[in-house]
């Protein structure tokens, strides 16, 4: 766009067309008037219908004009001044002049036989004839006796009288000379017509140029709008690609972080029990160890082996769940059967069931094996983090104010609580406790125990709440109590 592209080009105003039309109409009207005026000026003065027109005009004005204060004489003087005629007189039906702009003519009879016959016949007549007496107008002697005047008589039908107009022949000849050629009024009218026509042409041309400029601007603006829309679409695509790249980068960085932490965890957590097992095995090769020390070494090796086995199991569980999903079966089962499954899965953990729950004997909608495996995982996780005593209690009432909850708590639930006397979970670490490979800096383990627990809780459509302090941790699992029997097999 040019240097003026920053200013908006508006649509041409309709007033341009209106003004152009008015100028064109004015030009045409002025030209027509000039032609008519010139044609009227070209007619011979003192001949033809010129005197007829003026005589009829005087009659019409006389009939239409009201009488002045001095009667008919005042009226004819007004006519003489208005029409610029040398003298105006009113002749009665008897041929006597009743009133005249020249007082000397009043009371005199028409002396011209031609004019008298025209008065009697009610027709127009005109002739040049000398005056038999001098004529004084407004105290000034205009004509002397014998001066030839051109006299025109026009009958008045309403009064049977007539109007007599007197023209000075010398004045008529002078007017005829002045009327020859193109009149100044004609030139002025034609100049006005030309100016108005030029203005109309300029306005039409200006509006045409403005319209073309407006169309060019609209085309250019439309092109720019299209380019802007395409640019905006490209920007959106670039922004979306940038966001996707940032998410991919963030995911890659997170995967790298998890991979690094996993490698570090495996390097530390697996090496420690393996070192213990190798060292114990080397010590047992010696025959010089007392039986009590050998038994203690064997017990430690068994404990480290179980610890190593649990870590490998957790890693394999996570890999299996994330790759193939967690298979489980939700169905209605008696709570007493669930208690038996839990006791078989947790042989080293005491299980206590509240008496009111035993008395009620509810039905639960869950997968007993998944619930038992979940409680076993929570108990083993507590022991791996320093708990000496772990117990499971079953009740029909939840924790009043849990510090954290994952999953969705059922409206009607049975509550299974795993309580330990470990060091507890630090409050600043608690929000991250159920994330993969997240663990406290001072704790052992893989950081997968609570992550697997969260996956199991979501699978059985329950919730898990946490309350922790320096005196220990309580994790309460809520599973749905049956209100309407339902069965189903689900894969997650």
Distances (CA, A) of 269 to 143, 264, 307: 150, 8, 9
CATH of the domain at 82: 3.30.450.20
243 pLDDT more than 70: yes
Q: Look up the domain containing 364 and give its range.
A: 325-491
Q: Look at residue 291 and tell me if it is in a domain.
A: no
Q: Look at residue 215 and tell me if it is in a domain.
A: no
Tell me what pLDDT residue 266 has.
Answer: 64
Q: Tell me the torsion sign for CA atoms 373, 374, 375, 379.
A: positive
Mean pLDDT of the chain: 78
3-state helix, strand, coil in the chain (%, to 5): 55, 20, 25
Q: Look at residue 225 and tell me if it is in a domain.
A: no
Residue after which a domain boundary falls, among 178, 210, 242:
178
Three-state SS string across 328-345, please? EEEEEEEHHHHHHHHHHH
255 pLDDT more than 60: yes
Which carries the bigger pLDDT value, residue 270 or residue 104? 104
pLDDT per residue as tens digits for the range 269-299: 667 777 777 787 777 777 677 777 778 888 8
CATH of the domain at 471: 3.30.565.10
Which carries the bigger pLDDT value, residue 445 or residue 378? 378
Mean predicted confidence (pLDDT) in 437-455:
69
Which carries the bigger pLDDT value, residue 190 or residue 268? 190
pTM equals: 0.42
Q: Look at residue 31 and tell me if it is in a domain.
A: no
**Contact yes or no for 462/414 (Cβ under 8 A):** no
Q: Look at residue 145 and tell me if it is in a domain.
A: yes
Residue 91: count other Cβ atoms within 10 Å of its Cβ: 27
- The residue length of the chain stands at 492
**Contact yes or no for 119/131 (Cβ under 8 A):** no
Q: Look at residue 229 and tell me if it is in a domain.
A: no
Residue 331 and residue 341: Cα distance in Å, rounded?
A: 15
Mean predicted confidence (pLDDT) in 176-198:
76
Residue after which a domain boundary falls, among 162, 178, 194:
178
Quick one: pLDDT band at residue 477, thresholds 50, 70, 90? very high
**Contact yes or no for 46/172 (Cβ under 8 A):** yes
487 pLDDT more than 50: no
pLDDT per residue as tens digits for the range 37-90: 777 666 554 454 566 767 777 777 776 666 544 567 777 777 777 666 778 888
**Contact yes or no for 142/86 (Cβ under 8 A):** yes
Q: Look at residue 243 and tell me if it is in a domain.
A: no
Structural domains counted in the chain: 2
Which carries the bigger pLDDT value, residue 191 or residue 149? 191
Q: Tell me the torsion sign for CA atoms 299, 305, 311, 314.
A: negative
Q: Look at residue 397 and tell me if it is in a domain.
A: yes
368 pLDDT more than 80: yes
491 pLDDT more than 50: no
pLDDT per residue as tens digits for the range 378-434: 888 888 778 889 999 998 888 767 888 888 899 889 999 999 998 888 888 888 888
Q: Which residues pair with 167 in a beta bridge?
A: 150
312 pLDDT more than 80: no
Top mean pLDDT of 130-144, 288-302, 468-482 is at 468-482
Residue after which a domain boundary falls, among 178, 200, 224:
178
356 pLDDT more than 50: yes
Tell me what pLDDT residue 490 has.
Answer: 40
């Amino acid at each position: 766009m040019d240097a003026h592209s920053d200013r908006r080009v508006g649509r041409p105003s309709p007033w341009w067309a209106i003004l152009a039309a008015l100028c064109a109409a004015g030009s045409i009207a002025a030209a027509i008037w000039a032609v008519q005026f010139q044609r009227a000026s070209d007619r011979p003065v003192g001949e033809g219908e010129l005197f007829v027109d003026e005589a009829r005009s005087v009659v019409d004005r006389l009939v239409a004009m009201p009488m002045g204060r001095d009667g008919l004489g005042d009226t004819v003087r007004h006519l003489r001044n208005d029409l610029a005629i040398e003298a105006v007189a009113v002749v009665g039906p008897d041929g006597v002049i009743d009133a005249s702009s020249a007082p000397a003519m009043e009371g005199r009879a028409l002396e011209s036989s031609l004019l008298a016959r025209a008065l009697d016949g009610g027709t127009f007549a005109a002739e040049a004839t000398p005056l038999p007496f001098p004529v004084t107008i407004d105290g000034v002697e205009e004509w002397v006796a014998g001066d030839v005047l051109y006299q025109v008589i026009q009958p008045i039908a309403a009064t049977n009288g007539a109007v007599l107009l007197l023209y000075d022949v010398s004045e008529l000849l002078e007017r005829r000379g002045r009327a020859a050629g193109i009149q100044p009024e004609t030139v002025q009218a034609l100049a006005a017509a030309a100016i108005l026509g030029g203005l109309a042409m300029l306005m039409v041309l200006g509006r045409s140029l403005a319209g073309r400029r407006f169309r060019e601007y609209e085309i250019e603006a439309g092109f720019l709008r299209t380019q802007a829309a395409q640019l905006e679409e490209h920007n959106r695509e670039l922004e979306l690609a940038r966001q996707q790249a940032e998410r991919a980068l963030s995911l890659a960085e997170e995967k790298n972080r998890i991979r690094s932490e996993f490698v570090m965890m495996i390097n530390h957590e697996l090496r420690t029990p393996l070192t213990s097992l190798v060292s114990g095995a080397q010590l047992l090769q010696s025959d010089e160890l007392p039986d009590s020390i050998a038994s203690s070494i064997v017990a430690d090796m068994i404990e480290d082996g179980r610890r190593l086995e649990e870590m490998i199991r957790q890693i394999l569980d996570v890999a299996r769940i994330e790759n193939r999903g967690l298979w489980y079966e939700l169905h209605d089962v008696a709570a007493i059967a669930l208690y038996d499954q839990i006791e078989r899965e947790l042989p080293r953990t005491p299980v206590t069931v509240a008496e009111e729950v035993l008395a009620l004997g509810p039905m639960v909608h869950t997968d007993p094996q998944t619930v038992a495996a979940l409680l076993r995982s929570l108990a083993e996780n507590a022991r791996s983090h320093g708990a000496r005593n772990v117990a499971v209690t079953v009740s029909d009432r939840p924790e009043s104010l849990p510090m954290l909850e994952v999953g969705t708590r059922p409206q009607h639930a049975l509550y299974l609580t795993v309580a330990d006397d470990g060091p507890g979970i630090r409050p600043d670490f608690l929000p991250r406790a159920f994330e993969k490979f997240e663990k406290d800096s001072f704790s052992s383990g893989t950081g997968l125990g609570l992550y697997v627990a969260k996956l199991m809780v979501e699978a059985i459509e329950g919730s898990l709440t946490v309350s922790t302090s320096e005196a220990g941790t309580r994790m309460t699992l809520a599973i749905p109590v049956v209100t309407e029997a339902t069965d189903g097999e689900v894969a997650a």
